[in-house]
Amino acid sequence: MLLCRRDALRTLRESAEAVPGSGARAPSLSANMHGASFTRQERLEMEEVEAALVRIEEGRFGGCERCGGAIGRHRLLAVPEARCCLTCADRRTQGAHR
């Protein structure tokens, strides 16, 4: 799932950077001027996906970075790039809203 999402994001980025009609690459400013920029959310998602792939390689995938416990199977199926278990993620979200 992570590899497929990474490939999809790379394809999206490449198409956002292409100059319409020429097949050439454009600088980021030009891509932004054409309205086809790689969004902040997409950049963040790419970073999270790539970080999850590193955790897999290092044998750390599936462990919560906050409490050290296991990230539940259902959470990883829903959000494969998750860094925290659901309990810690909820605590982080609640703390951000205070």
Q: Which position has the token pair 């086809």?
A: 36
**pLDDT for residue 35:** 43
Query: pLDDT for 16-71, tens place per residue?
Result: 777 565 554 444 433 443 345 678 999 999 999 999 999 999 999 999 999 999 99
The burial class, CB within 10 Å (0-12 / 13-18 / 19+), for 80 is: buried
SS3 category, 7 = helix
* Residue 31: predicted pLDDT: 41
Please give the DSSP secondary-structure letter assigned to residue 72. Answer: P
Distance separating alpha carbons of residues 66 and 92, to the nearest angstrom: 10
* pLDDT computed for residue 17 by the predictor: 74
Domains in the chain: boundaries: 2-96
Report how far residue 52's alpha carbon sits from residue 98's, in angstroms, rounded to the nearest whole number: 29
Q: How much is the pTM?
A: 0.71
CATH code of 2-96, in short, is 1.20.120.910
Q: What's the full length of the chain, in residues?
A: 98
